[in-house]
Amino acid sequence: MQAGAELAIIVPTYEEAANMPELVRRLDACLKGVQWELIIVDDDSADGTARIVRELGRTDGRVRCLQRLGRRGLSSACVEGMLATTAPFLAVMDGDLQHDESLLPAMLAALRQEGLDVVIGSRYVPGGSSAGLQGQRVSMSRVAASLSRPLIPEDLNDPMSGFFMLRRQVFDSTVRRLSGIGFKILVDFFASAEHPLHFRELPYQFRSRYAGESKLDAHAVWDYGMLLLDKFAGRFVSPRLLVFLCIGGLGVLVHFAVLATLFRGLGVSFVWSQATATLVAMTGNYALNNEITYRDLRLRGWQWLRGWSTFVLACGIGALANVGVAQYVFDQEAAWALAGLAGILVGAIWNYVITLVYTWRGAAH
């Protein structure tokens, strides 16, 4: 009976098809004598990354593909890849070949021989270099590292590294506390561990991308902010709920702007003004939550319209309650603004519950 892999290399991908054959070739060249497997976790790339990986796997049994539908995120992809292997040592690296795969044997040896929990490929220790990073990304990396300082050891030089290896026991003991948000899972591991992790940083030269384009964008920056928010405040309240409430607050402003324009400015009856303001604010909240709060379950194209329709339909009872409560309060000779706010509170409760259960989660299953 053939033994399982000792080392699993987890590579989250999105549109990295051109890099996959070269990645497999380089791993084969540098990991002689090691029982290894490569787990590509692909977020349904349009360029056929999953298809290319499966073709590689037909001739090399060490290559496996997990294709995820309806969700994205590097950290959550790494978690799913780690859950899919029995290997006692787990490495994470990018699929763009900027990480130096030749460091993997030294990382494995350090874990085997030194009793460490984590070995990190570092750009910021003597012998390391971030030459492959563009100027703006160097600055962004430095700022992101400084923001994470309260969550990590003082002597960790490269917390933003996406290239590291850890023992299976570390993953198993932290996985249920991981946020799984964004693209910097190393910070998540250090912040989620019950006890301080024993680590060592090994220098490497960060290279230029082999093929394809960088996926770092404003959404990735936002996701990192969500990770920090979860680690600082997640024990008290869900960061998704906080963002949802912030967007709801913006929706209140939109609601009152439409209500005031129609009722006070154009002389439309209060009930129709309130109903219209409710629909406009609900649509705006749906669009923003789709792009921000539920970015990992983001809907596009016809799915966006389907999601909007289910959102509106599912929130129908809440919308009716919104208008009904507002009208009742207004009929009691309360100020129109107070009546509108009463309706908003009822609608907000329904919007959150339906958002959580039916609209985006329902689309993922």
Would you give the DSSP letter of residue 209? Answer: P
Q: How confident is the model at residue 1 (pLDDT cuts 50, 70, 90)?
A: low
Structural domains present in the chain: 7-233 (3.90.550.10), 239-364 (no CATH)
* CA separation, residue 272 to residues 82, 203, 279, 326, 337 (Å): 54, 66, 11, 11, 15
* CA separation, residue 311 to residues 222, 246, 354 (Å): 24, 18, 7
The Cα–Cα gap between 104 and 90 comes to: 11
The Cα–Cα gap between 311 and 282 comes to: 9
Q: What is the mean pLDDT of the chain?
A: 82
Top-confidence residue, 287 or 149: 287
* pLDDT score recorded for residue 27: 96
CB atoms within 10 A of CB 212: 18
For residue range 42-67, list pLDDT tens digits in order.
Answer: 988 989 999 999 999 999 999 999 99
Measure CA 159 to chain center. Answer: 17
* CA separation, residue 317 to residues 258, 282, 289, 314, 321 (Å): 21, 13, 20, 7, 6
Nearest residue to 68 (alpha-carbon basis) of 49, 41, 37: 41
* pLDDT score recorded for residue 361: 67
For residue range 83-108, list pLDDT tens digits in order.
Answer: 999 999 999 998 888 899 999 999 99
* pLDDT score recorded for residue 65: 95
For residue 194, give every residue at least 6 positions away whose Cβ sits within 8 Å of its Cβ, in sequence order, or none: 173, 174
Residue percentage of the chain with pLDDT more than 90: 32
**Of the ranges 26-30, 128-132, 202-206, which one carries the lowest mean pLDDT score?**
128-132
Nearest residue to 94 (alpha-carbon basis) of 162, 144, 27, 2: 162
Is it the case that residue 144 has pLDDT exceeding 80? no
Q: Which H or E run includes 204?
A: none
For residue range 181-229, list pLDDT tens digits in order.
Answer: 666 788 888 888 888 899 999 999 888 776 656 555 455 566 666 666 6
Partners of 166 in the β-ladder: 90, 118
The Cα–Cα gap between 291 and 84 comes to: 29
Give Rg (Cα) of the chain. 25
For residue range 261-315, list pLDDT tens digits in order.
Answer: 998 889 888 889 988 988 888 889 889 888 878 876 778 888 888 888 888 787 7
Burial of 2 (0-12, 13-18, 19+ CB in 10 A): exposed
Structural tokens at position 153: 């050891």
Would you give the DSSP letter of residue 292? Answer: I
Residue percentage of the chain with pLDDT more than 70: 82
